C-alpha cells in the first residue's frame, strides 16, 4: 500500500447562503492521478482550490501527507498555510504568469523569494525546468511574446521548480486554442509518467481516460461516482453520470 499524499475529510464550502461543497471525502495515494469531471457549477474547481487552501473550506480537513492546513473549525494560520502550499503546485486555466517577468524570471522568482535559493543556483534550476517543458530557447521571452500553449508550459515549469509533492491542474487547457492543447497535454502526460501525484479538473475526457488512474464525477457539490477510467466510461452506474457522459458525447 503506497503512501497517502492528500487526505480530504468532510469538506464543506459555503459562499453566503450557497453551499458549493456538501461534504467531500477523498484520499489520494502517492503517484496517483485523479481526474475530476462534472458539469459547470458542480463545485469541482472550488474543490480543487480547497486542496491548497486558495479557498478556505468552511469546515473539514485537508492534509498533505500528514500535515493539516488547519485544525477543523479553526482559523488557518497564514504562514503555515503558505509553507504547506509549497508542497502543492497549481496550474491555472488563465496561466497567471507574471507579465513583467521573463519566462526564466517567472520560474525562478519563488525559488529566490520563498525558497531563499541563491540567484545563480535558481537560474540553473529554472533553466532545467524550462528545458523540461521544451522552452529553454524561450527563457528570455516575456509572456506577451509567447503563445498560450507556451505560457501554460512556463506556468507548469514555474510550479514544478518548487518541487511539489502534488500537482493541481485547474482546467489547464480550457483557455487554449485547439491546436495548442496538445503540447500542454504532452507535458502533463510526461509528468504523469514520471510518477507525479496529480489532481486534474478537466473537460478533456479522452485525456482524463488516458492519464488518470481514477475518475471522480462531481455534481451538486458532492462526489456522485468514482472509479477506474475504463469501467467509469464504459459502464457508469449512477444515472447522473450516464446523463453527463452522454451530454459530453462519450
Partner 1 sequence: MDFKTAFEQLTPSLLEALGLVVTLALLSFVLALTIGMLVALGRLSKVRSLQVVLIAFLEIVRGTPLLVQLLYVYYVLPEIISYIVGIWVPGYHMNISAFTASIIGLGVNYGCYLSEVFRSSIQAIDKGQLEAAKALGYTSRKAMWHIVIPQSIRIALPPLGNYFNAMLKDTSLCAFITLGEIILKTQAYASQTFLTIESYTIAALIYLIVSIPLGQAIRIMERRLRRHV
From residue 99 to residue 128, the character string flagging contacts with partner 1 as x (rule: CB under 8 A) and all else as - is: xx--------xx--xx--------------
User: Does 248 sit near partner 1 (CB under 8 A)?
Assistant: no
Q: What is the largest CA-CA distance in the chain?
A: 56
Q: Is 217 in the site for partner 1 (CB under 8 A)?
A: no
- The Cα 91–Cα 167 span in angstroms is 8
Strands (DSSP E) found in 105-202: 166-170, 197-201
Contact code string over 14-53 relative to partner 1, x by CB under 8 A: --------------------------------------x-
CB of 49 to partner 1, least distance (A): 9
Cβ neighbors of 154 (< 8 A, separation 6 or more) are 95, 97, 103, 106, 107, 130, 133, 135, 138, 143, 146
Q: In angstroms, give the least distance from the CB of 47 to partner 1.
A: 15
Between CA 8 and CA 45 the distance in angstroms is 15
For 209, list phi and psi in degrees, rounded to 5: -65, -35
Q: Does 75 bind partner 1 (CB under 8 A)?
A: no
- Angle among Cα 158, 161, 167 to the nearest 5 degrees reads 75
Task: In angstroms, give the least distance from the CB of 178 to partner 1.
Answer: 23
Cβ closest to partner 1, residue 156 vs residue 215: 156
Out of 27, 71, 72, 98, the residue judged to bind partner 1 by CB under 8 A:
98
List 43, 57, 60, 143, residue binding partner 1 (CB under 8 A): 143
Which member of 138, 158, 185, 217 binds partner 1 (CB under 8 A)? 158
State which of residues 2, 17, 66, 78 lies at the interface with partner 1 (CB under 8 A). Answer: 78
Which strands make up the sheet holding 67-68, listed edge to edge? 18-29, 4-15, 59-64, 67-68
Is 56 one of the binding residues for partner 1 (CB under 8 A)?
A: no
Residues 6+ apart with CB under 8 A from 4: 27, 28, 29, 30, 65
Segment contacting partner 1 (CB under 8 A): 79-87, 118-126, 177-185, 216-224?
79-87
Stretch that binds partner 1, among 26-34, 151-159, 178-186, 229-237 (CB under 8 A): 151-159
Task: Determine the Cα–Cα distance for residues 109 and 78; give it in Å rounded to an integer.
Answer: 20
φ and ψ at residue 76, rounded to 5 degrees = -75, 145
Residues that bind partner 1 (CB under 8 A): 52, 54, 78-79, 82-83, 85-86, 88-90, 92, 94, 96-100, 109-110, 113-114, 142-145, 155, 158-159, 162
Amino acid at each position: 500500500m503506497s503512501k497517502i499524499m492528500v487526505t480530504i475529510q468532510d469538506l464543506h464550502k459555503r459562499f453566503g447562503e450557497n453551499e458549493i461543497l456538501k461534504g467531500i471525502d477523498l484520499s489520494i495515494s502517492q503517484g496517483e492521478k485523479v481526474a475530476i469531471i462534472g458539469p459547470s457549477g458542480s463545485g469541482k474547481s472550488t474543490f480543487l482550490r480547497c486542496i491548497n487552501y486558495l479557498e478556505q473550506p468552511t469546515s473539514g480537513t485537508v492534509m498533505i501527507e500528514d500535515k493539516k492546513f488547519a485544525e477543523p473549525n479553526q482559523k488557518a494560520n497564514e504562514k503555515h498555510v503558505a509553507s504547506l502550499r509549497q508542497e502543492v503546485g497549481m496550474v491555472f486555466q488563465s496561466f497567471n504568469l507574471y507579465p513583467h517577468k521573463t519566462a526564466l524570471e517567472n520560474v525562478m522568482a519563488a525559488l529566490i523569494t520563498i525558497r531563499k535559493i541563491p540567484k545563480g543556483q535558481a537560474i540553473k534550476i529554472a533553466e532545467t525546468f524550462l528545458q523540461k517543458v521544451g522552452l529553454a530557447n524561450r527563457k528570455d521571452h516575456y509572456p506577451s511574446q509567447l503563445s498560450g500553449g507556451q505560457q501554460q508550459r512556463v506556468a507548469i515549469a514555474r510550479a514544478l521548480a518548487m518541487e511539489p509533492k502534488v500537482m493541481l491542474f485547474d482546467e489547464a487547457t480550457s483557455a487554449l486554442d485547439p491546436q495548442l492543447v496538445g503540447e500542454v497535454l504532452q507535458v502533463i502526460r510526461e509528468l504523469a509518467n514520471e510518477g507525479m501525484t496529480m489532481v486534474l479538473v478537466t473537460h478533456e475526457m479522452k485525456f482524463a481516460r488516458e492519464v488518470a488512474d481514477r475518475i471522480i464525477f462531481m455534481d451538486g457539490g458532492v462526489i456522485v461516482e468514482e472509479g477506474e477510467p475504463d469501467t467509469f466510461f464504459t459502464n457508469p452506474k449512477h444515472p447522473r453520470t450516464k446523463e453527463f457522459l452522454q451530454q459530453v458525447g462519450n
